[in-house]
Chains A and B, each alone.
Chain A
């Protein structure tokens, strides 16, 4: 497919030359600025190695994902050159550019290791993908034409044209409105003094609502009149950019860059406004009193609904769970609610009516217009239920999540930003699922699946260079169940891989058995096939884990360590990454002994006698683990 579409080398050179010229003349912004910082080098290194975790860490520090190193390599080029499909996909998902007809884009395609990656790159070509902020912009633009549910709170009039608009957007986007409206927040009709052509007016409003404004404004004198009108209005509303935008013309790329900048600017305005108003006016109070809060419709920040989230009480109980602890609790709770302990008391007191202990709630003053981005809110406000009706004071709508999570959700809805710590990623995931905010769900899933680097060895995982263990953040059983519950396939895969690479640890846990049973049950209810998805996935990743081992080329290193391996009996696999990590020798032999304790006689003899070198040892381990899966399945009476 791609062969015909890939350009020749000379064409790429030419593109580079032209691009350089454009950039040096200042017409075009350099999309790939040089970055020689240490962090960026580390990032590039991770892309080379295919280390998802480091990549994600670096990206979340805010590094420019499209920068280049001193050899003009961008992270995406490195990842695709080295054949790391997952890394390339992650980079693309988070905004790495691979645009046809640009030097770096073509180079990236040209260098892709295989067709799979090349097709991936083509799939993310700019023309098909969109600016990450585009959904936000599109939503705000759509507010202009949206009739149900009604969210507008001001009528702006010029001449004969009237438009139903949103105060908070006007205030966020136009300094003029911000000032006027703060002086008189209760205004419902605003007449602009200047009589300008309605088209000028509409164009400016469209600009405020983040729509693309461009050419096509009539002909000749009419155009002149409209332009004059826009000029006047843009000065009055203090939005000079709109006039500049319309006057500026240029090629596709320039227009696009301008558009990207413009959306980013608008987003920042909105984000700033959100910060200074919505978040600033959030109220923390005892839950008992939360329902009594009365806000007038004519409030200073134009909110038209209050969202309420109840805090968890008994913070002190949320101590870190040790594995053994967790396992015990899970066993008592049974397979369906495999959840860490400590919250039973909360459950009973969750619903306000039956609340026994006083606790705190947080109220966020919000705008329905923005909440509509969640389908649940959209339906809610359009429905004939209470929430969809007019009321004297702002309605208080509870949202079933913690205030932190609600704040993250609101931030995402208002600004498209989704930066949150791993510690609450699962909660964000479930809340986003409940509210049908698909993108946020994906972001949470991405965060979980990349930070908990699925392919890192158990050694890495248990001795992560002094950093906090992944297990401290994530209970892999929770992750898998959340993946099932929220139907995020990525998490199921991630969990299967994660378990496969640490199977020794999980294989004998009763919880794991339950998990397999659950997986089997899921499939039976779907009546698709009679395989157990989880086990299939684990087998797949298990074979990947050991095959990698056999195919690796670092033979010398392995030879060096053979002695240690022999001594230790079973040596767990390690990653050959420039010897940063030479800890294999320290691996305690408990996995194997654990196994043998279960009464696997065969293993014992194999272990003790034949483990001549690492290959043989790996092969044996592989067999042992497969055998254990087999036993497990038989024990559960399952096929596959």
Chain B
């Protein structure tokens, strides 16, 4: 039975440390002098193994370290230091001035090459040593918590080569290396060719070395020693460059340049330095070229305003791009854009105000006739205001389109910018007091004329524009008021081009602003169609009566719900003294018809009261005129009910009969204001001078006498007697005040209703909260004035809907059931 303990050799007691170490040392020297090919791995491994097994691992470890220490310190460092020429030994600025860039580059490359060579050699040699000393690494180093010999030797390289001053009292090599690399990079930035690969190799070295032997990832020498100076240096460089460029070039060029620099730096990190620096240098460049310069850039003469004015989409895009890099919110650009929009908007608003307030530039046209002069003047002015409104709307839309386009092309449909643009547009529109009216007018204008000969798509686009503007509008209740008024006129006077389009518009508004907004508008349409039915029914009814009286007056009625229709729109400015609803005296023929219809209506709907709005009526009359040759010709006269009544007065009279103003008033009971205006139309206006007036003057005064004008010869078959203030025009100041007052009143009601609804559900609410909630409830309709809400609350308390809570910590209200 063989009994064999382990061989002694394995336990290493035949190993004499010094002899063995001599063998190893000799071999290591061969390795370092690149003479290793004849060495036997096995022999070296075995020797190292035995030393470790003999528990001399620490001695071996120290010997190897010492060996490397000597080799690096005595051989390699000396070799590199020899290459250092004067410029590199001095601090940056002094050194730079001592040599031309070509000299510096050549010298620097020499040092870089030597370092690279030293580093690569060291790597190779150490990996060979590590191979041979594998057993020591695994056993001794692990057990004794020593860094591996490789890590240790890297530390030695760091200390001996890089960290040791090259000469007494001078910089160490890593400082010089940093200086050289920075110098080379500066040359690169100036466009000189440098050997990037060489620098990269040195960067690899710095990345492979650590502050300590534990090789903590963020303690790389690259990070600790180099990167910081690189970033500082770059910051300084770009700060100066940025300032210079701002002074010397235009914004577009600046943007191009900044972009190129950013790309360059990330390229540089890839090709010359370390990828890990890319985000950091990126930040530095962004800080220096963009973040700190953005304001200046935008405010340059050739800045954003210039770009917008000249449709420089590319440049705008660059600005956008640059700022987006540094801040996703793009505050500077946004601010600048908002300012531009605000300025442009203000200009449009001012222009509109100026146009509307400007005195009519030209003298009144001659054909106005002297009697009509002041009237025409006013018309003219109103007309001018309508034009101003249309222009305002068009301008605003233009502005919007323009920025939308920029937004699309240059800003990549950026959300933040969109929000900002919207806000600015909205401010523009809302800061202009007449915007509601102007928008309504814009629609009105298109409804009456604009949509003729237009395709569906075009109509659609127009409607969409209106809606777009509407979206910006805060005080939607004002708009509703104006729209109702304008719609009313369009409907009653049949000015609307297409009911379909009207309905389409309503539908859009409904979608945009909600049901309640369009409720009344829809009711108006309903009234109109009901009235048509009614008229038809009445005609059939009359026909059914049998006696087809050919002389019987034909009747068309619009029965309007009084609350829905803003009939005051028809009262012209000079009638607003509170029209006394005096009973108009109808001639028997008309009265018969009126009574007949009233009878018919009350049969159909009992309990409803009909009020005749004679001031809004219209009558078609067939009249016989004798022309110059004595022939009688039938002309159709279309005029207001009042005019018809007046004309009918003269129907049965002799041509020379005269009626004074007072007589006419007494016989017809037409309100004096309207009467005067109607008579003006009949006796003064040259084209419809049915009557002649004594004395001949422009104004109708008490005591004036009227008779049939035999000389009047109408030129056309159909004659239209002018109806005063039938069109939709911009309101005069007084009207506007009126509208505002009415609107404020109705707002008051709406606010009260909202407050009461809120309190009813919540029972108790703090004052501030109540205010907030009221505002948010109403915000879809208008932006309520806080004072007004307070007043309404006071009033509600007075009327005992609410009461103040006395014991509450904050002012609060309680709902009184």
Contacts and interface: CB of A to CB of B under 8 A. Distances in A.
Interface of A: 312, 318, 320-321, 333, 336-337, 339-340, 343-344, 346-348, 350, 375-376, 379-380, 383-389, 397-402, 421, 423-424, 426-427, 429-431, 434, 436, 468, 472-473, 475, 478, 481-482, 485, 487, 525-526
A337 B10 CA distance: 11
Interface stretch (B127-135, B270-278, B582-590, B619-627): B127-135
24 contacts: A318-B2, A318-B3, A337-B11, A340-B5, A343-B8, A346-B8, A347-B9, A347-B13, A379-B131, A380-B41, A380-B42, A385-B39, A385-B131, A386-B38, A386-B39, A386-B41, A397-B42, A400-B9, A421-B2, A423-B4, A427-B5, A430-B10, A475-B5, A481-B11
A321 B42 contact: no
Contacts of B40: 385-387
B7 interface: yes
A385 B130 CA distance: 13
Given A339-B8, A423-B1, A478-B6, 12 more contacts: A320-B3, A339-B13, A376-B134, A385-B41, A385-B132, A386-B41, A423-B3, A427-B7, A436-B138, A472-B1, A482-B6, A525-B144
Q: Which of B43, B49, B143 has the most CB of A within 10 A?
A: B43
B432 interface: no
B243 to A, nearest CB: 55
Chain A interface, DSSP helix/strand/loop, else mixed: helix
B7 A385 contact: no
A387 B41 contact: yes
Interface string B4-46: 1111111101100000000000000000000011111111111
Contacts of B36: 384-385
A400 B40 CA distance: 14
A389 B37 contact: yes
B53 interface: yes
Q: Which of A350, A383, A401, A431 has the most CB of B within 10 A?
A: A383
Interface string B624-646: 00000000000000000000000
B13 to A, nearest CB: 4
B128 A424 contact: no
B78 interface: no
Contacts of B14: 346-348, 350
A400 B46 contact: yes
Report the interface size class on chain B.
Answer: 35 or more
B28 to A, nearest CB: 12
Nearest to A381: B41
Nearest to A307: B42
Contact of B8 (A347, A380, A383, A398): A347
B5 A478 contact: yes
Given A383-B131, A436-B138, A485-B53, A350 B9 contact: yes
A96 B144 CA distance: 38
Contact of A424 (B4, B11, B132, B135): B4
Q: 3 tightest CB-CB pairs across the interface, nearest first? A: A347-B14, A385-B41, A337-B13
Contacts of A384: 36-37, 128
Contacts of A475: 5
A339 B4 contact: no
Contacts of B13: 333, 336-337, 339, 347
Given A385-B36, A386-B40, A386-B41, A402 B7 contact: yes
A400 B46 CA distance: 8
Contacts of B10: 400-401, 427, 430-431, 434
Contacts of A429: 6
Contacts of B143: 487, 526
B709 to A, nearest CB: 104
A472 to B, nearest CB: 6
A337 B9 CA distance: 11
Given A337-B13, A347-B14, A387-B42, A473 B8 contact: no
A399 B38 CA distance: 18
Q: Which of B3, B11, B36, B139 has the most CB of A within 10 A?
A: B3
Contact of A375 (B8, B42, B49, B134): B134
Contacts of B8: 337, 339, 343-344, 346-347
Interface string B274-300: 000000000000000000000000000
Contacts of A427: 4-7, 10
Nearest to B12: A337
Contacts, number: 123
Contacts of B54: 336
Contacts of B7: 312, 343, 346, 401-402, 427, 430
A388 B5 CA distance: 33
Interface string B45-60: 1100100011100000
Contacts of A401: 7, 10
A30 to B, nearest CB: 39
Contacts of A487: 139, 143
B42 A468 contact: no
B6 A379 contact: no
Interface in B113-162: 128, 131-132, 134-135, 138-139, 143-144
Q: Which of A340, A379, A427, A487 has the most CB of B within 10 A?
A: A379
A397 B45 CA distance: 12
A388 B139 contact: no
B122 to A, nearest CB: 15
B5 A339 contact: yes
Contacts of B4: 318, 423-424, 427
A516 to B, nearest CB: 17
A526 B141 CA distance: 11
Nearest to A308: B42
Contacts of B132: 383, 385
A387 B53 CA distance: 23
B138 to A, nearest CB: 7
Nearest to B9: A350
A468 B1 contact: yes
B559 to A, nearest CB: 81
Contacts of B144: 525-526
Contacts of A348: 14
Contacts of A347: 8-9, 13-14
Nearest to A315: B2
B31 to A, nearest CB: 9
B20 to A, nearest CB: 10
Contacts of B9: 346-347, 350, 400
B131 to A, nearest CB: 5
B39 to A, nearest CB: 5
Contacts of A380: 41-42, 45, 131
Nearest to A388: B41
A165 to B, nearest CB: 26
Q: Which of B4, B38, B143 has the most CB of A within 10 A?
A: B4
A79 B138 CA distance: 37
Contacts of B2: 318, 421, 423-424
A525 B508 CA distance: 89
A412 to B, nearest CB: 18
A71 B55 CA distance: 54
Nearest to A482: B6
A487 B53 CA distance: 12
Contacts of A434: 10, 49, 135
A348 B8 CA distance: 10
A383 B128 contact: yes
Q: Which of B9, B10, B36 has the most CB of A within 10 A?
A: B10
Contact of A473 (B3, B53, B139): B3
A165 B14 CA distance: 43
Contact of A321 (B3, B11, B43, B46): B3
B143 to A, nearest CB: 7
Contacts of B11: 337, 339, 430, 481, 485
Nearest to A525: B144
B148 to A, nearest CB: 14
